[in-house]
Amino acid sequence: MIVTAFVLGPILAGLALYGRPRRASNAARGAAAVVAALVFIVAWADPHAPDASLRWLSRPFTAAFHLGYGPVSYWLVLLLALVTFSAALVVRGPRSRGIAAQLLVLQGAMNGLFLAKDVLLFALFWDLMLLPVFLVLAERTRGRAAWKYLIYNLAGGLALLLATAAFGVVAGTTDAIGNTAAHAGIGATWGAWIFAGFALAFLIKTPVFPFHTWMPETYAELPPPMVAVVAAVQSKAGLYGFLVIGLPFLGPQMVQARPLMFALGLCALLYGAYVALVERDAKRIVAYSSLSHLGLILLAVFSGSALAYAGAVVYIIAHGLFSAVLFIALGAVEEREETRDLARLGGLAARNPRLAGALMLGALAALGLPGLAGFAGEILILTGLYRAGFTWPAVIALLPIVLAAAYMLRAFQSIMDGPERPDLPQRRDLTWLEGFAVAPLVAGFVWLGVDPAGVIATLTAEGARVVGLR
C-alpha cells in the first residue's frame, strides 16, 4: 500500500494544487515540499515495504499494476524525493503554483516508473512522465524546446510501447521485473527487435549521443526547479531501464550491442566534455557535462562487470545529487543576474559567498574530487571496466574525466571570480530557504562519497542479482 501511495499521493496532491488560487505561490511551494519530504521520510523508514499488485490484463498476455521495491529502485525513490523537495523549495515567480503542481505529478509518475514491476506499467509511466515536463515547457517558450522534447521522447516512448507489446506476446506476461523465473522465453529473433525498441527509448531519454539534441534546449528553457528534477532523475530512467529490463531479460542482446554502445558512450563522453569546454551558456555547460557523465554510466551498464554495475548505481545517485545542486545554484545566478552568459557574468563571489560556495561544492563533486560522490562512482566504474578487460575504453574514458575539472572550474571562475562587474545588478546572497534546499543534496553526496559501501551493501544484501552482485 505504501508503494502505491508513493505514486498516487504526489500525483493527486499535484492535481489538487490546481484547486488553489493561482497567486498562492508560498502555499504551493510549501505543499509540494511537504509532500516530497513525507515520501522521503516514509520511504527511508521502511525499506522493506511489501509489493502491491492488482490485475490489469489477462489476455493476450498477463499484466498487473504491480509496484514494489527492487534493489536499485529504493535508492532512486529516495533520490527523487530529495531532489523534488529541494526543487520545490526554490520554485518562485508568477507560475509557482503550476510548476509546483507539475513537480509533484512528475514525482508521482517517476516513482511509478522506478517502482513498476511490470514492463507494461513501466511503459505507462514512461509515457506519463512526458506530460508534466511538456506542459511546463509549453507554457514557457515559443515552442521549439517543447516540441523537441515531446517528439524525441515520444518517439522513444512509442518504440518502447511496441517492444513492450512484443515482449508480452513472446514472454506471455509483462509482470516480470525482478522475477527471474519469467525471462527464459525470449528467443534470438524476437530478442534483437525487442532490445532495439527498448534501447532506442532508453538512449533517447538518457540522452546518449547522437540522440541528445533535444537536451541542451530543454534544460536551458525549463525553469530551474524542473530542470533539477529532469536532469538529476529523469535522465536516469533509461539507465535504470537497461539495468532492470535489459540485463535480466535481454542479456545476450546486451552483449551483442556492447561494441556499439561503448562507441556511443565514448562519443558522448568526449563530445559532451568538448562542448562543455567551449560553451558560453552556463546551463548548457552543465547540460553537456551531464551528457559526458551519463556516457560513462552507459559504459558501465554494458560492461558486464559487477563492480562497474555497482559503480553505475553509485554514480547514478551521485550525478543526481550534484547536478541538482548545480542547476539550482545556476538557477539562483540566472534569477539574480538575468543572464547565463559566461562573458557577461563575473565577480559574484565577493557579494554572494554562500551562492559561490554552493556552486563550488556542486562543481567539485562533478569534477570528481576524491571524498565526494562523483569520485566514488567514477573510480568504481573505471576499475570495473579495467578489470573486465576493457583497457582502452577505460583509458579513453579517463580523458573526459580530467577535462571535467577544466570545464567545471572554467564555469565557476567566469561566474564567481574576478573583479566585480559594475554592469550587473546587485542582489542579495543565497536566502536561507535556498540554502536549506541545497544542504540535504550536499550532505547526500558527501555521505555517498565517504561511504559508498552503504549503497553497495544494500544492493548486495537485497538480492542484487539484477545488478550482478551475486
Q: Where on the chain is the footprint of other proteins (CB under 8 A)? A: 18, 56-57, 59-61, 120, 123-125, 127-128, 130-131, 134-135, 138-139, 143, 146-147, 150-151, 154-155, 157-159, 161-162, 164-166, 168-169, 193
- CB nearer to other proteins: pick between 162 and 396: 162
Amino acid at 350: A
CB 117 within 8 A of CB 51: yes
- CB nearer to other proteins: pick between 127 and 462: 127
The minimum distance between CB 397 and other proteins, in angstroms, equals: 34
Q: Which residues pair with 63 in a beta bridge?
A: 57
The minimum distance between CB 194 and other proteins, in angstroms, equals: 10
The minimum distance between CB 110 and other proteins, in angstroms, equals: 14
CA distance 382 to 312: 10
The torsion angles phi and psi of 302, rounded to 5 degrees, stand at -95, 5
Q: Which region, left, alpha or beta, applies to residue 187 given φ > 0 means left and ψ of -120 to 50 means alpha?
A: beta
In Å, how far from its chain's centre is CA 147?
A: 21
The minimum distance between CB 161 and other proteins, in angstroms, equals: 6
- CB nearer to other proteins: pick between 105 and 372: 105
The minimum distance between CB 382 and other proteins, in angstroms, equals: 38
- CB nearer to other proteins: pick between 84 and 164: 164
Q: What is the DSSP letter of 250?
A: S
The minimum distance between CB 247 and other proteins, in angstroms, equals: 23
- CB nearer to other proteins: pick between 104 and 130: 130
- CB nearer to other proteins: pick between 130 and 325: 130
Question: 63-67 and 52-57: which strand pairing?
Answer: antiparallel
- CB nearer to other proteins: pick between 152 and 240: 152
Q: Tell me how crowded residue 454 is: count the other CB atoms within 10 A of its CB.
A: 12
**Residue 124 three-state SS:** helix
The minimum distance between CB 165 and other proteins, in angstroms, equals: 4
| C-alpha dihedral sign at 10, 15, 16, 17 | positive
- CB nearer to other proteins: pick between 151 and 399: 151
Q: What is the DSSP letter of 246?
A: I
Tell me whether the omega of the peptide bond preceding residue 207 falls within 30 degrees of 0, making it cis.
Answer: yes
The minimum distance between CB 120 and other proteins, in angstroms, equals: 7
- CB nearer to other proteins: pick between 58 and 422: 58
CA distance 416 to 343: 12
**Residue 64 three-state SS:** strand
The minimum distance between CB 359 and other proteins, in angstroms, equals: 31
CA distance 442 to 437: 9
Residues written for the chain: 470
- Write out the DSSP string of 138-176: HHHSSSHHHHHHHHHHHHHHHHHHHHHHHHHHHHSBSTT
